[in-house]
Amino acid sequence: MRRIPIALIALVMLLLLANVGLAAGPDDNFGHRHYRCGLDHVDIDFENTTLVFTFERNHCDVVEITEDYQLYINGELIPTDDDQRKSLRRCYRLADRLSQEAIRIGVEGAHIGVEGAKLGLRGLGGVLKMLLTDYDEDDLERDMERHARRLERKAERLEKKAERIERMAEEFEVAYLKLEDEIPELAEID
Protein backbone atom coordinates (compact mmCIF):
# COMPACT_ATOMS: atom_id res chain seq x y z
CA MET A 1 0.00 0.00 0.00
CA ARG A 2 1.25 3.49 -0.89
CA ARG A 3 1.73 6.18 1.73
CA ILE A 4 -0.67 9.12 1.56
CA PRO A 5 1.54 11.68 3.36
CA ILE A 6 3.69 12.08 0.26
CA ALA A 7 0.60 13.27 -1.65
CA LEU A 8 -0.03 15.87 1.00
CA ILE A 9 3.61 16.99 0.83
CA ALA A 10 3.42 17.26 -2.97
CA LEU A 11 0.21 19.29 -2.77
CA VAL A 12 1.66 21.71 -0.21
CA MET A 13 4.81 22.05 -2.31
CA LEU A 14 2.69 22.79 -5.37
CA LEU A 15 0.78 25.53 -3.58
CA LEU A 16 3.95 27.12 -2.20
CA LEU A 17 5.73 27.08 -5.53
CA ALA A 18 2.72 28.43 -7.38
CA ASN A 19 2.61 31.38 -5.00
CA VAL A 20 6.31 32.06 -5.59
CA GLY A 21 5.74 32.06 -9.33
CA LEU A 22 2.82 34.46 -9.10
CA ALA A 23 4.66 36.84 -6.81
CA ALA A 24 7.61 37.04 -9.19
CA GLY A 25 5.62 38.22 -12.22
CA PRO A 26 7.04 41.14 -14.20
CA ASP A 27 5.54 44.61 -14.07
CA ASP A 28 3.63 45.31 -17.28
CA ASN A 29 3.59 49.10 -16.96
CA PHE A 30 5.26 49.93 -20.30
CA GLY A 31 7.14 53.20 -20.63
CA HIS A 32 7.62 53.35 -16.87
CA ARG A 33 10.45 51.50 -15.14
CA HIS A 34 10.77 51.76 -11.40
CA TYR A 35 13.91 51.24 -9.33
CA ARG A 36 14.32 51.52 -5.57
CA CYS A 37 17.92 52.14 -4.63
CA GLY A 38 19.94 52.64 -1.48
CA LEU A 39 19.76 56.43 -1.70
CA ASP A 40 17.63 57.33 1.31
CA HIS A 41 14.06 58.37 0.58
CA VAL A 42 14.56 58.57 -3.18
CA ASP A 43 12.22 56.99 -5.69
CA ILE A 44 13.82 56.47 -9.11
CA ASP A 45 11.79 55.92 -12.27
CA PHE A 46 12.16 56.07 -16.00
CA GLU A 47 9.14 57.83 -17.41
CA ASN A 48 9.48 57.06 -21.08
CA THR A 49 13.05 58.27 -21.74
CA THR A 50 13.44 60.65 -18.78
CA LEU A 51 15.18 59.51 -15.60
CA VAL A 52 13.17 60.88 -12.66
CA PHE A 53 14.29 61.05 -9.03
CA THR A 54 11.56 61.88 -6.53
CA PHE A 55 12.89 62.85 -3.12
CA GLU A 56 10.27 61.90 -0.54
CA ARG A 57 11.64 64.11 2.22
CA ASN A 58 10.72 67.74 2.62
CA HIS A 59 8.71 68.93 -0.37
CA CYS A 60 8.96 65.89 -2.68
CA ASP A 61 11.57 67.51 -4.89
CA VAL A 62 11.81 66.08 -8.41
CA VAL A 63 15.05 65.79 -10.38
CA GLU A 64 14.89 64.83 -14.04
CA ILE A 65 17.65 63.88 -16.45
CA THR A 66 16.47 63.78 -20.05
CA GLU A 67 17.83 61.44 -22.72
CA ASP A 68 19.91 64.35 -24.07
CA TYR A 69 21.36 64.84 -20.55
CA GLN A 70 19.56 68.03 -19.61
CA LEU A 71 18.96 68.49 -15.88
CA TYR A 72 15.69 69.76 -14.43
CA ILE A 73 15.01 70.33 -10.76
CA ASN A 74 11.36 70.81 -9.90
CA GLY A 75 10.66 71.64 -13.54
CA GLU A 76 13.40 74.25 -13.84
CA LEU A 77 16.22 73.71 -16.36
CA ILE A 78 19.60 73.83 -14.60
CA PRO A 79 22.46 75.05 -16.79
CA THR A 80 25.36 72.58 -16.89
CA ASP A 81 28.84 72.63 -18.39
CA ASP A 82 30.46 69.88 -20.47
CA ASP A 83 31.94 68.03 -17.48
CA GLN A 84 28.63 68.08 -15.64
CA ARG A 85 26.82 66.76 -18.75
CA LYS A 86 29.35 63.90 -18.92
CA SER A 87 28.48 63.05 -15.33
CA LEU A 88 24.77 63.34 -16.11
CA ARG A 89 25.28 60.99 -19.08
CA ARG A 90 27.11 58.46 -16.90
CA CYS A 91 24.38 58.54 -14.24
CA TYR A 92 21.62 58.25 -16.88
CA ARG A 93 23.29 55.35 -18.69
CA LEU A 94 24.01 53.47 -15.47
CA ALA A 95 20.40 53.86 -14.35
CA ASP A 96 19.18 52.68 -17.75
CA ARG A 97 21.43 49.60 -17.74
CA LEU A 98 20.49 48.87 -14.15
CA SER A 99 16.76 49.04 -14.77
CA GLN A 100 17.02 46.93 -17.95
CA GLU A 101 18.99 44.25 -16.10
CA ALA A 102 16.55 44.31 -13.19
CA ILE A 103 13.66 43.74 -15.59
CA ARG A 104 15.48 40.83 -17.24
CA ILE A 105 16.24 39.24 -13.88
CA GLY A 106 12.66 39.74 -12.74
CA VAL A 107 11.34 37.97 -15.82
CA GLU A 108 13.89 35.19 -15.45
CA GLY A 109 12.93 34.82 -11.78
CA ALA A 110 9.27 34.55 -12.78
CA HIS A 111 10.16 31.78 -15.23
CA ILE A 112 12.03 29.92 -12.51
CA GLY A 113 8.98 30.31 -10.26
CA VAL A 114 6.79 28.81 -12.97
CA GLU A 115 9.24 25.93 -13.36
CA GLY A 116 9.06 25.42 -9.59
CA ALA A 117 5.28 25.20 -9.83
CA LYS A 118 5.67 22.66 -12.63
CA LEU A 119 7.96 20.67 -10.37
CA GLY A 120 5.22 20.65 -7.76
CA LEU A 121 2.73 19.43 -10.37
CA ARG A 122 5.21 16.78 -11.46
CA GLY A 123 5.42 15.61 -7.83
CA LEU A 124 1.66 15.44 -7.61
CA GLY A 125 1.54 13.52 -10.91
CA GLY A 126 4.19 11.17 -9.56
CA VAL A 127 2.05 10.48 -6.50
CA LEU A 128 -0.90 9.62 -8.74
CA LYS A 129 1.39 7.44 -10.86
CA MET A 130 2.46 5.63 -7.67
CA LEU A 131 -1.16 4.87 -6.88
CA LEU A 132 -1.90 3.49 -10.36
CA THR A 133 1.35 1.74 -11.45
CA ASP A 134 4.41 0.01 -10.10
CA TYR A 135 6.18 3.39 -9.92
CA ASP A 136 7.38 3.72 -6.32
CA GLU A 137 8.65 6.34 -3.86
CA ASP A 138 12.26 5.76 -4.90
CA ASP A 139 11.36 6.43 -8.54
CA LEU A 140 9.49 9.59 -7.57
CA GLU A 141 12.30 10.82 -5.35
CA ARG A 142 14.91 10.16 -8.06
CA ASP A 143 12.86 12.01 -10.70
CA MET A 144 12.07 14.93 -8.40
CA GLU A 145 15.71 15.31 -7.33
CA ARG A 146 16.89 15.32 -10.95
CA HIS A 147 14.45 18.08 -11.89
CA ALA A 148 15.11 20.00 -8.66
CA ARG A 149 18.88 19.99 -9.32
CA ARG A 150 18.31 21.50 -12.77
CA LEU A 151 16.05 24.16 -11.28
CA GLU A 152 18.58 24.87 -8.53
CA ARG A 153 21.35 25.43 -11.11
CA LYS A 154 19.14 27.98 -12.88
CA ALA A 155 18.46 29.73 -9.57
CA GLU A 156 22.19 29.84 -8.79
CA ARG A 157 22.91 31.47 -12.17
CA LEU A 158 20.16 33.98 -11.48
CA GLU A 159 21.70 34.74 -8.09
CA LYS A 160 25.04 35.55 -9.77
CA LYS A 161 23.24 37.95 -12.10
CA ALA A 162 21.55 39.57 -9.09
CA GLU A 163 24.96 40.06 -7.47
CA ARG A 164 26.14 41.82 -10.64
CA ILE A 165 23.10 44.11 -10.44
CA GLU A 166 23.96 44.88 -6.83
CA ARG A 167 27.43 46.03 -7.93
CA MET A 168 25.85 48.12 -10.70
CA ALA A 169 23.53 49.73 -8.13
CA GLU A 170 26.49 50.68 -5.98
CA GLU A 171 28.22 52.17 -9.04
CA PHE A 172 25.04 54.12 -9.86
CA GLU A 173 24.81 55.53 -6.33
CA VAL A 174 28.45 56.66 -6.49
CA ALA A 175 27.74 58.35 -9.85
CA TYR A 176 24.74 60.17 -8.38
CA LEU A 177 26.68 61.30 -5.33
CA LYS A 178 29.38 62.62 -7.69
CA LEU A 179 26.64 64.62 -9.46
CA GLU A 180 25.67 66.14 -6.12
CA ASP A 181 29.29 67.20 -5.62
CA GLU A 182 29.50 68.75 -9.08
CA ILE A 183 26.12 70.47 -9.28
CA PRO A 184 25.34 72.71 -6.29
CA GLU A 185 21.59 72.74 -6.96
CA LEU A 186 21.49 68.95 -6.47
CA ALA A 187 23.36 69.17 -3.18
CA GLU A 188 20.70 71.60 -1.86
CA ILE A 189 17.88 69.07 -2.31
CA ASP A 190 18.70 66.79 0.61
Q: Is residue 179 part of a domain?
A: yes
Q: In percent, how much of the chain has pLDDT > 70?
A: 76
Q: What is the pLDDT of residue 23?
A: 43
Which domain, by its residues, includes 100?
A: 5-29+85-187
Question: pLDDT by residue (tens digit) across 141-172?
Answer: 888 888 888 888 888 888 898 898 889 989 99
> How many domains, the chain?
1
What number of other Cβ atoms are within 10 A of residue 140's Cβ? 19
Looking at residue 58, what is its pLDDT? 61
The answer to whether position 75 is within a domain reads no
Within a domain: 102: yes
Does residue 47 lie in a domain region?
no
User: Does 99 map to a domain?
Assistant: yes
Residue 106 falls inside a structural domain:
yes
Cβ–Cβ under 8 Å, residues 101 and 168: yes
The per-residue pLDDT for range 64-113, each reduced to its tens digit, is 999 999 999 999 999 999 999 999 999 999 999 988 888 888 888 888 88
